[in-house]
Structure 1
Amino acid sequence: MKVFLVAGELSGDRLGGALMEGLRQLVPDVEFAGVGGPLMAAQGLESLFPMDELSVMGIAEVLPKYRHLVKRMHQTADAALDWQPDVIVTIDSPDFCLRVAREVKAKSDLRCVHYVAPSVWAWRPKRAERMARHVDQVLALLPFEPPYMEAVGLRCDFVGHPVVTEPVATDAEVAAFREKHGIGDAPLLLALPGSRRGEVGRLTPTFGEVVARLVHQKPDLKVVVPAAAPVAGLVKELVAGWKVAPIVLDPNEMDPETAQTEKLAAFKAADVALAASGTVSLELAASDTPMVIGYDMNWISWKIMSRMALIDTVTLANLVAETRAVPEFLGPAFQAEEIAPAIMQVLEDASEQRAAMALTMERLGRGQEFPGLRAARAVLDGLQK
C-alpha cells in the first residue's frame, strides 16, 4: 500500500506522524512519500522539501511568498501524480493542501483525504462546498465538525484529538522542575508567544508589558517561556528587557527527551498561562493549567478575518466545552492593561476553567483509542468503500 502525505506545519507533522504509526500497525508493508517534518521523517518519510517553507500564516504575510508557495504546490501535486499512491492524505494547512488536492483531482481519480476539517464553523463556510469537489473524505479533530462536512456530501470521521494521548508531568516532575529553576512556592506564569517568527515578534513585547503589570501585584512572580526550537533565539532577544527575567527553555540546548520533559513540567507547574491562540489551549487543558489567550496579527489580516468571523471565540477549549470560561484578547483588545487583570482573576479562581478543561478532554476522546490509529482505520475504511 502506498500513501502520499502532505503536512505544512508542526501541528500537521504531529498528526501525520501519528497517522503513519497507526497505518504501520494495520498495514506493516505500507510505503510513504510526500512532505512533512521530523515526526513524519521518524516514521519513514523523506520530505520533498523542508516543511517549514509552508509555515506562513496571515493574508499579508503570505503575499511576499506567494510565487514560491505556488511553485511548491505544483511540485507536490506532480510528485503525487507520478508516484500513483493508493491514497493522498493532506494534513491541515488548507490554503496549501487543498490546492494540491484540487490539482491532483483535475488530472486523476486518486482518492484524497484531508486530515483536520477546515474551520468552516468559524469563517469562510463556503470552503466545505469547494472541498467536496476534490476531497473524498475528511478526518475531524473536533467532535462538532462532522455535520458541517456531511451537509455538503463529504464523508467526515471524528477521529479524536492527539492532545488527549500526550503525556502530562507528574507531581514529582513538577516539584523537581520548580526546585531546579529556583521557583519554590512562588506563583508561576507560563508565557507562550507562539512558534512562528512573525507572531513571536508581535506578541512578545506585549507579553512583557503584562509581566511588568503583574509584578506590581505579585512581586515574587516567576515566569517561564518554553520556546519553540526555530524561534528560540528570537525569544531570548525579545524577553531580555522584561521586568522579570524569565526562564527560557531552549530545546536547541537540550537533548529531545530532556526538552520534552522540561516543557511538560513547565506546563503542569504553572499556576496560569498567557498563550497565543491555537492548539496550545488544548495542551494547557490537558495539563489542567488555567489560561488567558492573547493574539494579534497584521492590521490588514485582522480587519479581513474579523469581518468574516462567524464565532465569538477562537479558543478551542471554549468551543469544545461550549463555554466562554477562557478569557481572550484578540486584535485591538490585545492590550496589557486589559490582559493583566484577567490573569489576576484566573489566579484567584480558576474553578470554572478547570471544569471546562475536563469536559474538553472528555469530548476530544481521552481514554479512547489512540487518535492516530482511529485516523488510520478511517482512511482504510474509506478505501474499502
Structure 2
Amino acid sequence: MRVFLVAGEPSGDRLGAALMEGLKTLVPEAEFDGVGGPLMQAQGLTSRFPMSELSVMGLVEVLPKFFHLKRRIAETAQAVLDTQPDVLITIDSPDFSLRVAKLVKASSDIRTVHYVAPSVWAWRPGRADKMAKVIDHVLALLPFEPPYMERAGMECDFVGHPVVNEPIASDQDIQNFRVEQDLGDAPIVLALPGSRRGEVERLAPIFGAALQKFLMDRPDTRVVVPTVAHMVDVVAEHVRNWPGNPIVVDPRELPSDDAQAQKRAAFAAADLALAASGTVSLELAAQATPMVIAYNLNWLTTLIAKRMVKLDTVTLVNLVSDTHAVPECLLDDCQPFKIAEALEQVAAMPDAQHQAMATTMEQLGRGGEAPGLRAAKAVLDRMKP
C-alpha cells in the first residue's frame, strides 16, 4: 500500500504521525511519501521539502509568499500524479491541501482523504460543498462534524483527537522538569504565543505586556515558553525582554518522543497558561492546565473574520464542552489589560475549568481506541470495494 500524505503545520504533523503509526500497525508493508514534519519523518516519511514553508496563516501574511506556495502546490500535485499512490491524505492546512487535491482530481481518479473537517459550523459553510468536489472521505476530530460533511456528499468518520491518547505527566515528570529548568518550587505561568513566525511577531509584544501587568504583584513567578524546534530562535528573541525571567523550552536536541514528553511536563507543571488560539487548548486540557486564550490577526484579516465567523467562542475546549469556561481575548479584545484581567480571573479560580476540560477529553475519545488507529481503520474500511 502506497500512501501520499501532505501536512503543513505542527498540529498536522502530529495527526499525520499518529495516522501513519496506525496504518503501519494494520498494513506493515505500507510505504509513505509526501510532505511532513519531524514526527511524520520519525514514522518513515522523507519529506519532499520542509513543512515549515507551509506554516503561514492570514491573508496578508500569505500574499508575499503566494507565488512560492503556488509552485509548491503544483510540485506536490505532480508528485502525486507521478507516483500514483493508492490514496492521497491531506492533513489540515486547507488552503494548500485542497488545491493539491483539486489538481490531482483534475487529472486522475486517485482517492482523496482529508484529515480534519473544515469548521463549516463556525464560518464559510459553503466550503463543504466546494471541498466535496475534490475530497472523497473526511476524517473528523470533533464528534459533531460528520453530518456537515455527509450533507455535502462526502464520506466522513469521527476518529477522535490524538491529544486524548497522550500520557498525563506524572508528579515525577513534573519534578524532573522543574529540576532540569532550575525552577525550584516557583509558581509557573506558561506562555504560548503560537507556532508560526507571524503569530509570534504579532502576539509576543501583547503577551509580554499582559504578563508585565499580571506579574507585577507576583515577583516569584517564572514564565515558561515551550515552542517547536524551528521557532526556538525566533521565540527567544521576542521574549527576551519579558518579565518573569522567561525560559524558552528548547526541543532541538531531543528525540521527538522525549521532546513531546518534555512539553507535557511543562504544561502539567504550570499553574496557568496564556496561549494563542488553536489545538494547544486541547493539549493544555489534556494536562488539566487552566488557561486564557488570546489571539489577533492582521487588521485586514480581522475585518474579514468579523464578517464571517458565526460563533461566540472559538476555543475547542469551550466548543466541545458546550461552555464558556475558558476566557478568550480575541481580535479587538486581544489587549494587554484585558488579558491580564482574564489571567487574574483564572488565577483566582483555577479549578473552574477542570470539569469542562474533563468533559472535552471524554467527548474526544479519552479511554478508547487510539485516534490514529481509528483514523487508519476508517481510511482502510472506506477503501474496500
Give the TM-score, by structure 1 length. Answer: 0.96
Specify whether residues 306 and 176 from structure 1 end up closer, same or farther in structure 2 by C-alpha distance, changes over 3 A only: same
The CA deviation at 1:183 is 3.5
The CA deviation at 1:180 is 4.4
Aligned to 1:382: 382
The 8 Å contact of residues 139 and 157 in structure 2, kept in 1 or not, is answered as yes
**Residue 164 in 1 paired to residue 181 in 2?**
no
Aligned to 1:186: 186
Specify whether residues 260 and 33 from structure 1 end up closer, same or farther in structure 2 by C-alpha distance, changes over 3 A only: closer
Aligned to 2:62: 62
Aligned to 1:97: 97
Aligned to 1:334: 334
Aligned to 1:28: 28
SS at match of 1:265: helix
**Residue 86 in 1 paired to residue 61 in 2?**
no
Specify whether residues 384 and 314 from structure 1 end up closer, same or farther in structure 2 by C-alpha distance, changes over 3 A only: same
- Aligned pairs (5 A) from 1:269-284: 269-284=269-284
- Aligned pairs (5 A) from 1:79-228: 79-228=79-228
Letter in 1 for 2:265: A
* Mapped partners of 1:380, 1:180: distance in 2: 43
* Mapped partners of 1:55, 1:185: distance in 2: 36
Deviations 1:299-346 (A, max 9, x none): 111111121101111111111111110001111111111111211111
The CA deviation at 1:255 is 5.4
* Mapped partners of 2:261, 2:157: distance in 1: 32
Aligned to 2:42: 42
Count of aligned pairs: 385
Deviations 1:49-91 (A, max 9, x none): 2211111110111111111111111111111112111111111
Bigger Cα displacement from structure 2, 215-224 vs 307-316: 215-224
Letter in 2 for 1:177: F
The 8 Å contact of residues 295 and 329 in structure 2, kept in 1 or not, is answered as yes
Deviations 1:256-283 (A, max 9, x none): 5554343222100111000011000000
The CA deviation at 1:145 is 0.7
Question: Runs of 5+ in structure 1 lacking a partner?
Answer: none
CA RMSD of aligned residues (A): 1.5
**Residue 297 in 1 paired to residue 297 in 2?**
yes
* Mapped partners of 2:110, 2:177: distance in 1: 50
* Mapped partners of 2:253, 2:44: distance in 1: 26
SS at match of 1:237: helix
The CA deviation at 1:98 is 0.7
**Residue 320 in 1 paired to residue 312 in 2?**
no
SS at match of 1:223: strand
The CA deviation at 1:114 is 0.6
The 8 Å contact of residues 239 and 245 in structure 1, kept in 2 or not, is answered as no
* Mapped partners of 2:38, 2:225: distance in 1: 23
* Mapped partners of 1:79, 1:137: distance in 2: 21
Aligned to 2:310: 310
* Mapped partners of 2:193, 2:344: distance in 1: 19
The CA deviation at 1:254 is 4.8
The 8 Å contact of residues 290 and 351 in structure 2, kept in 1 or not, is answered as no
Aligned to 2:266: 266
The 8 Å contact of residues 194 and 275 in structure 1, kept in 2 or not, is answered as yes
Bigger Cα displacement from structure 2, 128-137 vs 165-174: 165-174
Letter in 2 for 1:384: K
Question: Runs of 5+ in structure 2 lacking a partner?
Answer: none
Letter in 2 for 1:342: A
The CA deviation at 1:189 is 0.5
* Mapped partners of 2:225, 2:41: distance in 1: 27
